[in-house]
Copies of this chain bind each other. A is one copy, B any other.
Amino acid sequence: MENITSYIDTHKDRFIEELFELLRIPSISADPAYKNDMLKTADAIKASLEKAGCDTVEICETPGNPIVYGEKIIDPALPTVLVYGHYDVQPADPIELWTSGPFEPVIKKTDIHPEGAIFARGACDDKGQMYMHVKALEYMTVNDKLPCNIKFMIEGEEEVGSESLDWFVKRNQEKLQNDVILISDTGMISNQQPSITTGLRGLSYVEVEITGPNRDLHSGLYGGAVANPINVLSKMIGSLQDEDNRITIDGFYDNVEEISLEERAEMAKAPFNLEEYKKSIDLSDIHGEKGYTTNERNSIRPTLDVNGIWGGYTGEGAKTVIASKAYAKISMRLVPNQTPEEITEKFTKHFLKIAPKSVTVKITPHHGGHGYVTPTDNVGYKAAHKAYAKTFGVTPIPQKSGGSIPIVALFEQELKSKTILMGFGLDSDAIHSPNEHFGVFNYLKGIETIPYFFEYFTEMSK
């Protein structure tokens, strides 16, 4: 019976090559053109779960992309860990900024990853992090080390709102019954300082369309006399934040949980270097809500960001046109007690109110999600804490993340269990951006840490 470090040492090339295979399939859920690739990815995951030791694996049909469900039940009396992950990825654009093909995985060295990192869309979010669990299961199966029951639920719509997962979970509460849910889809502070995410922000995402004249117009003949939808949209968006970068939507902060000064002081102890932060993304200056630090702004405070805007002539050179329509995609990150339903409604009401009569406004809500907080006195949290300490040799820090995994709130509601966010990515991994990558160190460290979680969780649950 091999221990985990020597098992990884023996098999790491294969572990990387198997992940590469998955990364080569462009499973972009936002674009219907990739439907076949979604199915291909689900098939590949099914095969890998079977190979890793699951007793049964199914590809479960849903109204959208299928969910891969697998399980290995060694004793119904023992605890059950449900591993969640997703096989869909973000779109790769702007494609021209990738230094290698987004679906042609390759290992390149970086300052932060001197041992090399796997560059590909989905390397970190979430194929790489999800596949760590498959390889951890393989180790536990081969070496007869699985101490409890394990279930896998790998979905294909995380990047577009997990609608089918919601549908699936509500119809399969019995099958999905578990004692703890384990997700690796978040990050940690650094490779020297592990951390466990204990909070996630919620999300409200809307698309807006402003229509002025019924067709594009010549800006000379009509300019000045008709509402230009791009000017109007810009002014409306610009007015959504005041001079202190506070959001002006009526009632937006009504339910925002104000964090105590004590907790803020505690947060401020996490290692953070503002100059390095600025340098890492080449910021000329920081920017954000007055009265809060950078780490508070991106974790415990709500936001409003335009994720995309378009309208009029965007080609080479100059075209003197007044566009008929202008569009924007706008998302708001929410903190505990704000709900996506509430905020989407407040946004809609406010945005319609501030529109001039000379345009018409259409607002389409995209997916949303509730925020989440993991209690640190939970057995799962404690087991994760001990596992990181074991493999990193450093005590992990609890940390609130600015990101959103809307389904965590759903799990709590439908499955009545807590989620442990055991992430191994880094903020610098460029998830959702060109040149997404995942450190080889992080990938292998995840595979090493997960079996300890299973061991400690089973022990602590006794």
Contact = CB atoms under 8 A, between A and B. Distances in A.
Interface string A164-188: 0000000000000000000000010
Contacts of A313: 91, 93, 307-308, 329
A281 B216 CA distance: 9
A101 interface: no
Contacts of A329: 312-314, 318-319
Contact of A218 (B207, B236, B295, B403): B403
Closest 6 CB pairs of A and B: A220-B403, A238-B238, A235-B238, A214-B282, A308-B312, A227-B287
A103 interface: no
Contact of A433 (B218, B283, B356, B433): B218
Contacts of A224: 288-289, 297-298, 301-303, 305, 333, 402
Given A215-B430, A230-B237, A230-B309, 12 more contacts: A31-B316, A93-B313, A216-B432, A218-B432, A219-B305, A223-B331, A223-B333, A224-B297, A308-B311, A309-B309, A309-B312, A319-B432
Interface of A: 29-32, 90-91, 93-94, 97, 159-161, 187, 201, 203, 205, 207, 212-228, 230-231, 233-241, 281-289, 294-295, 297-298, 301-323, 326-329, 331, 333, 356-360, 366-367, 401-404, 427, 430-435
B281 A307 contact: no
Contact of A160 (B286, B318, B326): B318
21 contacts: A31-B316, A93-B315, A213-B283, A215-B433, A218-B403, A219-B331, A222-B298, A224-B303, A224-B305, A225-B294, A227-B285, A228-B305, A230-B305, A231-B306, A234-B306, A238-B239, A284-B357, A287-B358, A307-B313, A308-B323, A321-B432
Contacts of A231: 237-238, 240-241, 304-306
A97 B234 CA distance: 24
Contact of A320 (B97, B205, B283): B205
A202 to B, nearest CB: 10
A217 B316 contact: no
A27 to B, nearest CB: 14
Given A238-B237, A286-B358, A187 B315 contact: no
A221 B401 contact: yes
A311 B330 CA distance: 12
Given A237-B231, A306-B228, A318 B221 contact: no
A124 B153 CA distance: 61
Chain copies in the assembled complex: 2
A46 to B, nearest CB: 25
B160 A317 contact: yes
A257 to B, nearest CB: 15
Contacts of A295: 225
A225 B298 contact: yes
Given A241-B231, A308-B312, A284 B358 contact: yes
Given A215-B433, A238-B238, A281-B214, A305 B221 contact: no
A308 to B, nearest CB: 4
A174 to B, nearest CB: 32
Contact of A402 (B221, B227, B281, B317): B221
A432 B205 contact: no
Nearest to A326: B309
A226 B286 contact: yes
A53 B238 CA distance: 59
A288 B201 CA distance: 41
Interface centre among A222, A281, A322 (most CB of B within 10 A): A222
Interface centre among A30, A315, A321 (most CB of B within 10 A): A321
Contacts of A308: 230, 311-314, 319, 321, 323
B287 A226 contact: yes
Contacts of A328: 230
A359 B283 CA distance: 7
A38 to B, nearest CB: 14
B234 A359 contact: no
Contact of A234 (B207, B237, B427): B237
Nearest to A125: B218
